């Protein structure tokens, strides 16, 4: 039975330990890890929202040592893998930016290649306890594990879902869209889709969200106070859980996931263009949606960031297929082996 939802047994054990104690490793506000071709800085939540938590900078020292993957305008506008929002289906003052407030402790793990963030339920207005682990993996990868427990599902109301939203504020891009394998219509063949978040609905606000081919839209109240991250395009939809985007200096930023859609959780891709009038710097974001969250149940996903020179769309597909084979699950179903 597929009960682990793609999280390794070690990650589950880490959650059990964290719920009752502090993780091994050194707690710190900032850390820099150099491994393989990558040099990565990480930050905790202690200076947020003035300085964003998550990844502070990402350099490939072989391919573009002078070019940060993320926005360099300011620390308050720069960040990757920043847990930005937790959202329910009804109006609530905590729908916007609540993860940027409260303690989100960060630790450098003993292997000195990984960092881990721990968010306690009592520090989150939604009562979600979570850990995020990022490992710098040669030659040019960031491997991500996220796990959480929704301690008070009734907090999310009658719509019965929780959206956890991560932002990636990109540096200067060569092209605005993200690219993924998907369908432009229900009856079309799978192909490469360039998704530029065009305006199609009254709730559009400088961007939008793309869902899996099997996923349904999320209902939300008319008086909702944060609609821009809930609605999603009817089409195109993605068929494989990864996207890539093209940045300056011939670089590609790729983000892939170990799941696409199940009845209880799913991944969605988002792109927002608030900054385009000033810089060619869109936000290439994503969402993890939990449907009908249950108490005392662990939810989560694994992901991989690729930061290297762009070769071709076929090479991006090969990167995803290679990672799939490493994880040991069927690439057509995007579900972990039991």
- Coil vs helix vs strand at 321: helix
User: For residue 193, is it within any domain?
Assistant: yes
User: For residue 147, is it within any domain?
Assistant: yes
Q: Is omega for the bond preceding 49 within 30 degrees of 0, making it cis? A: yes
The first and second tokens of residue 230, run together, are 């809930």
Q: What pLDDT, on a 0 to 100 scale, did the predictor assign at position 328?
A: 80
Q: What pLDDT, on a 0 to 100 scale, did the predictor assign at position 305?
A: 98
- Coil vs helix vs strand at 31: strand
Domain limits for position 296: 9-327
User: For residue 124, is it within any domain?
Assistant: yes
Q: What pLDDT, on a 0 to 100 scale, did the predictor assign at position 11?
A: 52
- H or E element that contains 16: helix 9-20
The first and second tokens of residue 301, run together, are 């996903």
User: For residue 53, is it within any domain?
Assistant: yes
188 contacts: CB under 8 Å, gap ≥ 6: none
Q: What pLDDT, on a 0 to 100 scale, did the predictor assign at position 160?
A: 95
Q: Record the pTM.
A: 0.92
- Coil vs helix vs strand at 109: coil
CA pair distance 177, 209, nearest whole angstrom:
12
- Count of the separate structural domains present in the chain: 1
User: For residue 2, is it within any domain?
Assistant: no
Rg (CA), the chain: 18
CA pair distance 213, 271, nearest whole angstrom:
18
Q: What pLDDT, on a 0 to 100 scale, did the predictor assign at position 188?
A: 96
Per-residue pLDDT of the chain (338 residues; tens, 9 = 90+): 233 334 454 454 455 444 556 677 899 999 999 999 999 999 999 999 999 999 999 999 999 999 999 999 987 778 899 999 999 999 999 999 999 999 999 999 999 999 999 999 999 999 999 999 999 999 999 999 999 999 999 999 999 999 999 999 999 999 999 999 999 999 999 999 999 999 998 999 999 999 999 999 999 999 999 999 999 999 999 999 999 999 999 999 999 999 999 999 999 999 999 999 999 999 999 999 999 999 989 999 999 999 999 999 999 999 999 999 998 854 444 333 22
- Coil vs helix vs strand at 164: strand
Q: What pLDDT, on a 0 to 100 scale, did the predictor assign at position 75?
A: 79
CA pair distance 294, 28, nearest whole angstrom:
32
CA pair distance 330, 316, nearest whole angstrom:
18
CA pair distance 194, 191, nearest whole angstrom:
10
* Beta-strand pair 26-27/161-169: unpaired
* CATH code of the domain in which 124 resides: 2.70.98
Q: What pLDDT, on a 0 to 100 scale, did the predictor assign at position 257?
A: 97
Q: What pLDDT, on a 0 to 100 scale, did the predictor assign at position 123?
A: 96
Tell me how crowded residue 26 is: count the other CB atoms within 10 A of its CB. 12
Q: What pLDDT, on a 0 to 100 scale, did the predictor assign at position 336?
A: 31
DSSP letter for each residue of 192-206: EEEE-----STT--S
User: For residue 336, is it within any domain?
Assistant: no
Q: What pLDDT, on a 0 to 100 scale, did the predictor assign at position 334?
A: 36
Q: What pLDDT, on a 0 to 100 scale, did the predictor assign at position 23?
A: 73
User: For residue 169, is it within any domain?
Assistant: yes
Q: Of 193, 178, 211, which is closest to residue 288 (Cα–Cα)?
A: 211
User: For residue 305, is it within any domain?
Assistant: yes
CA pair distance 101, 92, nearest whole angstrom:
16
The first and second tokens of residue 19, run together, are 């719920």
CA pair distance 284, 271, nearest whole angstrom:
5
């Amino acid at each position: 039975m597929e009960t682990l939802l793609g999280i390794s047994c070690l990650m589950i054990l880490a959650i059990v330990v964290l719920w009752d104690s502090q993780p091994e490793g050194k707690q710190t506000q900032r850390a820099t890890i150099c491994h393989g071709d990558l040099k990565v800085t990480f930050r905790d939540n202690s200076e947020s929202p003035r300085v964003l938590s998550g990844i502070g900078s990402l350099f490939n020292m072989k391919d573009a040592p002078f070019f940060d993957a993320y926005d360099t305008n300011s620390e308050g506008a720069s960040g990757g893998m920043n847990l930005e929002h937790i959202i329910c289906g009804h109006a609530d003052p905590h729908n916007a930016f609540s993860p940027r407030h409260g303690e989100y402790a960060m630790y450098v793990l003993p292997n000195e290649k990984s960092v881990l963030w721990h968010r306690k339920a009592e520090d989150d207005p939604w009562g979600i306890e979570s850990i995020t682990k990022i490992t710098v993996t040669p030659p040019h990868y960031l491997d991500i594990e996220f796990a959480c427990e929704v301690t008070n599902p009734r907090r999310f109301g009658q719509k019965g879902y929780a959206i956890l939203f991560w932002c990636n504020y990109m540096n200067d891009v060569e092209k605005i869209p993200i690219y993924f394998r998907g369908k432009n219509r229900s009856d079309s063949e799978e192909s490469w889709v360039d998704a530029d978040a065009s305006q199609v609905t009254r709730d559009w606000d400088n961007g939008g969200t793309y869902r899996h081919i099997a996923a349904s839209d999320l209902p939300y109240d008319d008086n909702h106070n944060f609609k821009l991250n809930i609605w999603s395009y009817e089409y195109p939809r993605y068929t494989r859980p990864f996207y890539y985007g093209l940045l300056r200096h011939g670089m590609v930023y790729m983000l892939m996931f170990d799941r696409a859609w199940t009845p209880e959780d799913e991944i969605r891709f988002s792109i927002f263009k608030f900054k385009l009038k000033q810089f060619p710097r869109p936000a290439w974001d994503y969402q993890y949606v939990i449907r009908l969250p249950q108490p005392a149940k662990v939810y989560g996903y694994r992901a991989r960031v690729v930061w290297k020179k762009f070769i071709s769309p076929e090479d991006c597909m090969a990167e995803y297929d290679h990672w799939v084979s490493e994880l040991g699950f069927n690439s057509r179903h995007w579900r972990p082996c039991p």
